[in-house]
Structure 1
Amino acid sequence: MRPEGFDYETHSRLAGPFAEPEPGPTGAYRVRYRSLLAREPHRIRAVALMTLAPALSAVLLLYLLWPTHRTVREGGERWLVRLDAVMLVSIALIMFFMLVNVVAIAHAAMVARDPVPVPARPGTRVAFLTTYVPGKEPLAMARATLQGAVRVRHDGPLDIWLLDEGDDPAARELCAELGVRHFTRKGIPEWNTREGAHRARTKHGNYNSWLARHGGDYDFFASVDTDHVPTPNFLERMLGYFRDPDIAFVVGPQVYGNYTGSVTKAAESQQYLFHALIQRAGNRYGAPMFVGTNNAVRITALRQVGGLYDSITEDMATGFELHRRRNPATGRFWRSVYTPDVLAVGEGPASWTDFFTQQLRWSRGTYETLFRQYWKSFFRMPPGRWLNYTLMLLYYPMTAVNWLLGVLSCVLFLWFGASGTQVSSEVWLMLYTDAAALQVGLYLWNRRHNVSPHEPEGSGGLAGMAMSAICAPVYLKSLCSAVLRTRGRFVVTPKGGDASPDRLSTFRIHLFWALVLIASLAASVRYGHTHAAMRTWAVLALCVTFAPLAVWSAGLLRVRRERARAGAGSRRRAEDAGAAAEPGEEPEPAFATTTGGN
């Protein structure tokens, strides 16, 4: 789905014009890069902002934890002294995570770079893949994706494949109509296992089955999700980087073509920091994250790690495995490339239900990578690459734990008066406000690197920041599930305009925390625990919990008003038609004038 009025053509060439693939020091071509900071006309100001933001966060951390500021209770209750200690640890961790977050953003802004594109080597054998799940995804959407794939240009053998999970007769007919090849693993037991590379009813199982049957016929495969329509220059802009023999995969940004509803707009804005900055920072270490929505992959590299990894987020887990392995042909670590070129336009979550489901799955996949794979990277991954992955993987758990600790601190103070530190409200507010302002300033400065063709130039991305805060309780639920080892499962996000309906139960996680915070604020009035900082923190957290419910309620109210206006208009037209009718004539039905007789 591509809405009108957006310049997709220009955004498909953000990395710049093609350059000649010049050989590197060893004789073979190596991907070259351009630093984003080097192109910044006000580099001194930018570096000052990137330095001051972490520095002031560190000052705030030290101020709150300064030994003379710690709470000392003379003859206090032992249980209250212990709660003070819990408060001190909570505050320390909250401020430390805040520092790590701003350091990660500043670091990414300093090292972010774009690859210099080169023409693809002619004659390479390429398969273009997308999947289809009958009953979960509309066939019309698969048609749009395949029609886009058929228009993709490549100077060499190119086959378009539909990987049909259900061997649907209508899908076979569609493939025959478009000249697309059809593949299914249905009915083959060894390709429909309970666990592992060929797990049944999973995306990675579908891809790995195709890889086992047809992978040897091609040099590379390119793929998009079923809801993503590729641009005609998709392969031209991606495949050139594979001239470098150590490039395992190339990925591009994810944008949402159904850019209409408030949830979808905010969801794309939330992704800005990852696709505009974090992935570009990955280029510095040759290790951008593998993103399954649109990519190109060297088949020999993927086969070396046994295909796509068995995980709820198979793309990130597979990329992690590749980045800690070496290319047997060169002895060097496999590398990847992130291009800012927008080469596919997809669909995003159109309801809060679908958005929260998506965020639960993404965060759960990150936790699985942390618990199952991350320890394998020690001493088996270059230090810079290890640092880059560490900063990426820590985002979800830090956000989740920060939410828990923030609410815990509010509860301990507002109910019991526990206090880890004794500081002036005015000084705390001044330091916290300045640190937060610098963080927001760093965020806004980096908006100039936004790759979205949908967000207006110069927009602040406030909806994205709000969306990140709203997701914190969701990430905490996902973390608890991962720690308790409850089974995570892949849920196909409804596509093709068929969004899951929102209900009050959609917001049950947020409503639970809202009740906790409301009860704590009421307790603070009852017991006289009135420190301004803690009350402010509780009120801000309460706003976060109510925000999605408020947006949903406002949307329902708007729809009802529109329906009421439409109904009133229909009645007026019916009355006018009746008044205009001649005596003894039947008035023409009103719907005939409004629907063209359909």
Structure 2
Amino acid sequence: MSPVREKVPTGRVRVSAALQAATMLLPARYNYSAYSVLAGPADAPPTEDRPYTVRMRRLARRRPVLTVLITLFAFAFESTFFGWLIASIEIPDRRLDPLLYGGAIGMIVATATIELFRLVNVVTLCLATLWARDPVPVVPDTTLRVAFLTTIVPGKEPVAMVEQTLRAARNVRYGGTYEVWLLDEGDDADVKAMCERLGVRHFSRRGIEKFNTPAGAFKAKTKHGNYNSWVDVHGDDYDVFVSVDPDHVPLPNFCERLLGYFRDPDVGFVVGPQIYGNYDNLVTRWAESQQYLFHSLLQRAGNRRGIAMLVGTNNAVRIKALQSIGGLQDSITEDMATSLALHAARNPATGRNWRSVYTPDVLAVGEGPSSWTDYFTQQHRWSRGTDEVVLRTFARTARRLGPGRALHYGLLMSYYPLTALAWLLGAVNAFCYLVLGAQGVHVPQEVWLMLYIDAAFFQIGLYVFNRRHNTSPHEEAGSSGLTGMVASTLSTPIYVSSFVGALLRRKAGFVVTPKGDSTSPDRLATFAPGLRWAVFFVAMLVVAELTGHVDNAMFMWPALNLLICLTPPALWFVLRRRRRPEESEA
């Protein structure tokens, strides 16, 4: 459990005691108020004779030489290793048995492709390091009419939890028109009574056929359908809506730090980092650490071209921009799909592409998954939604994005599908050798090991170097982020299942991540994707022993994957056994 960091990092602005006192709804041991102003002090309103555009600061302005050097070394070592590997490839003799010849070719292609994927990941990290920017805040225009939105699915999300969010929303400061709305999927009597008691406006699409369609903008039982229904009825009464997920508590300066960027007429939405306040169990801690790279670096890299990705947990959206693309997009990851659609569209008023802004300011603190079941459900939804966009819509959207924006989004979305493909290709590699006895790439093991370790060292070094940009108030300053890397690795079987499902076009619906007391219990079935792969790898290792296809280097891949598959259920089993004596004493 991380203590409050006493020293606010360079560039972070201390805030008044009043703001800190207003965050009583949040865990007191973390200095959230200091992290709500990471982007620095707000500029004064621009003068009328100069049109306003969002200003950006380079993150690399601090330690610029070291940043460039470590980035170049990471790229140079990885590209050198990849080039050496390709140059070392020898095509096998065609006189081989056709099965062995085909297996050898398959192993060569798989090995080269896996290393190409790793090179893509390194290039993504290098470019993000150089591109990362923070926006310069500006005082908001109080003539904007603002609606605060959050949702509830009665029965799946505790009413008490949503009430806490609404109470915090009522305390958000803004000098203009500001009204709080709850979008209720169930039109529940208790929920309506709560809204009346709190002075919150209530909306429900329940029972309205137009707003409950099988697919599209108003798809039933989806978040995007709920929001789009509200926009259709009430959107013209406001200029911007700010929103959080129902488990996220907004800080009092939520509007003050988000709305100023809308002085730029081409800004379609503003988004902040996702932070988990229930930082009291292993799964939640690992889940938040896993998000470091996306929220602390990749999103900031999107600021260079004004193409940060929309994240549904906390954001501000210009309603006219959303209406110009037909609302939030129909996808199980509606925020990412909406980002692509918006950035590919133009602002009718200016003729320029819509832009977005990512602020590192921590302005809402939510509840993360606290069980393996809920964590894997979340990872499945995110990866499956990304895979579907990559496979079905990105190619035609990329043309309207332009080369630079398309490159950024292509690299950003490549992680899930490339991770899944690398796992599948590794399984093919292991099968070809351990079962068929085929031989793939022949290289000196000492040279391979030396180049591989050097490349991996600089890749991890660049990852750790960028940890100084971490936006999480929970993780210790100077921490390595190792748990986040571990969490990503342990989720690989889930990413494989998601990718295969997207490839085969299996149906996948939006699942609300349970919150509070509704947390899903873990059971053996939770780990089914990994356990199925574990059986596969064990079977291969047994066959290899029986057939004599034994090699220490080739054993490493299935053995490592077996460890990945079995670690989550092993952790669950150990922690469950530890909890039993505590529960019996209570």
TM-score by length of 1: 0.92
Name the structure 2 match of 1:537. 557
Task: Give the conservation status (yes or no) of the 8 Å contact 2:122–2:459.
Answer: yes
Q: In the alignment, which of 32, 40, 52 is matched to residue 16 of structure 1?
A: 40
Shift of 1:421: 0.9
Shift of 1:483: 1.2
Residue type of the alignment partner of 1:336: S
Supply the distance in 2 between the matched residues of 1:374 and 1:387 (Cα, whole angstroms): 11
Supply the distance in 2 between the matched residues of 1:412 and 1:127 (Cα, whole angstroms): 59
Q: Which moved more, 1:430-439 or 1:303-312?
A: 430-439
Q: In the alignment, which of 505, 509, 523 is matched to residue 489 of structure 1?
A: 509
Residue type of the alignment partner of 1:256: Y
Q: In the alignment, which of 243, 248, 251 is matched to residue 271 of structure 2?
A: 251
Name the structure 1 match of 2:415. 395
Supply the distance in 1 between the matched residues of 2:467 and 2:230 (Cα, whole angstroms): 40
Task: Give the conservation status (yes or no) of the 8 Å contact 1:429–1:533.
Answer: no
Task: Give the conservation status (yes or no) of the 8 Å contact 1:425–1:532.
Answer: no
> 3-state SS of the aligned residue for 1:245?
coil
Name the structure 1 match of 2:320. 300
Matching of residue 470 in structure 1 with residue 490 in structure 2: yes
Task: Give the conservation status (yes or no) of the 8 Å contact 2:310–2:338.
Answer: yes
Name the structure 1 match of 2:62. 39
Counting only pairs closer than 5 Å after superposition, residues 6-405 of structure 1 correspond to structure 2 as 6-22=30-46, 27-40=50-63, 43-67=64-88, 69-70=89-90, 72-73=92-93, 75-405=95-425
Residue type of the alignment partner of 2:395: W
1:206–1:74 Cα change, 3 Å: closer
Supply the distance in 2 between the matched residues of 1:232 and 1:222 (Cα, whole angstroms): 13
Shift of 1:358: 0.7
Name the structure 2 match of 1:583. none
> 3-state SS of the aligned residue for 1:347?
coil
TM-score by length of 2: 0.93
> 3-state SS of the aligned residue for 1:379?
helix
Task: Give the conservation status (yes or no) of the 8 Å contact 2:67–2:129.
Answer: no
Task: Give the conservation status (yes or no) of the 8 Å contact 1:258–1:348.
Answer: yes
Q: What 5-or-longer segments of structure 2 have no aligned partner?
A: 1-24
1:303–1:272 Cα change, 3 Å: same
Shift of 1:563: 3.9
Residue type of the alignment partner of 1:66: A
What is the RMSD computed on CA atoms of the aligned residues? 1.5
Supply the distance in 1 between the matched residues of 2:86 and 2:439 (Cα, whole angstroms): 12
Counting only pairs closer than 5 Å after superposition, residues 521-560 of structure 1 correspond to structure 2 as 521-560=541-580
Supply the distance in 1 between the matched residues of 2:220 and 2:95 (Cα, whole angstroms): 63
Task: Give the conservation status (yes or no) of the 8 Å contact 1:112–1:281.
Answer: yes
Supply the distance in 1 between the matched residues of 2:318 and 2:28 (Cα, whole angstroms): 34
Supply the distance in 1 between the matched residues of 2:570 and 2:47 (Cα, whole angstroms): 57
Supply the distance in 2 between the matched residues of 1:430 and 1:443 (Cα, whole angstroms): 20
Shift of 1:323: 0.1
Q: Which moved more, 1:141-150 or 1:46-55?
A: 46-55
Task: Give the conservation status (yes or no) of the 8 Å contact 1:259–1:454.
Answer: yes
Task: Give the conservation status (yes or no) of the 8 Å contact 1:219–1:300.
Answer: yes
Equivalent pairs counted in the alignment come to 562
Per-residue CA shift, 1:297-322, capped at 9, x if unaligned?
10111110111111111111111100
Supply the distance in 1 between the matched residues of 2:424 and 2:112 (Cα, whole angstroms): 13
Task: Give the conservation status (yes or no) of the 8 Å contact 1:114–1:340.
Answer: yes
Residue type of the alignment partner of 1:2: L
Q: Which moved more, 1:508-517 or 1:217-226?
A: 508-517
Supply the distance in 2 between the matched residues of 1:510 and 1:309 (Cα, whole angstroms): 31
Task: Give the conservation status (yes or no) of the 8 Å contact 1:3–1:259.
Answer: no
Per-residue CA shift, 1:367-406, capped at 9, x if unaligned?
2222332122243113211111111111110011011111
Q: Which moved more, 1:549-558 or 1:148-157?
A: 549-558
Shift of 1:496: 1.6
Task: Give the conservation status (yes or no) of the 8 Å contact 1:32–1:115.
Answer: yes
Residue type of the alignment partner of 1:33: M
Structure exhibiting the larger radius of gyration computed from Cα positions = 1
Supply the distance in 2 between the matched residues of 1:413 and 1:533 (Cα, whole angstroms): 11
Shift of 1:418: 1.7
Residue type of the alignment partner of 2:557: W
Shift of 1:74: 7.3
Q: Which moved more, 1:518-527 or 1:496-505?
A: 518-527
Per-residue CA shift, 1:461-481, capped at 9, x if unaligned?
111101111111111111111
Task: Give the conservation status (yes or no) of the 8 Å contact 1:2–1:258.
Answer: no
Shift of 1:71: 5.4
Name the structure 1 match of 2:17. none
Residue type of the alignment partner of 2:77: L
Supply the distance in 2 between the matched residues of 1:199 and 1:423 (Cα, whole angstroms): 54
Shift of 1:183: 0.6
Residue type of the alignment partner of 2:35: H
Shift of 1:22: 4.1
Task: Give the conservation status (yes or no) of the 8 Å contact 2:26–2:277.
Answer: yes
Q: Which moved more, 1:2-11 or 1:161-170?
A: 2-11
Supply the distance in 2 between the matched residues of 1:78 and 1:376 (Cα, whole angstroms): 40
Q: Which moved more, 1:522-531 or 1:124-133?
A: 522-531
Name the structure 1 match of 2:3. none
Residue type of the alignment partner of 1:255: I
Name the structure 2 match of 1:572. none
Shift of 1:21: 4.1
Residue type of the alignment partner of 2:492: A
Q: What 5-or-longer segments of structure 1 have no aligned partner?
A: 568-598
Shift of 1:88: 0.6
Shift of 1:146: 0.2
Identity, % of aligned pairs? 53
Supply the distance in 1 between the matched residues of 2:198 and 2:277 (Cα, whole angstroms): 23
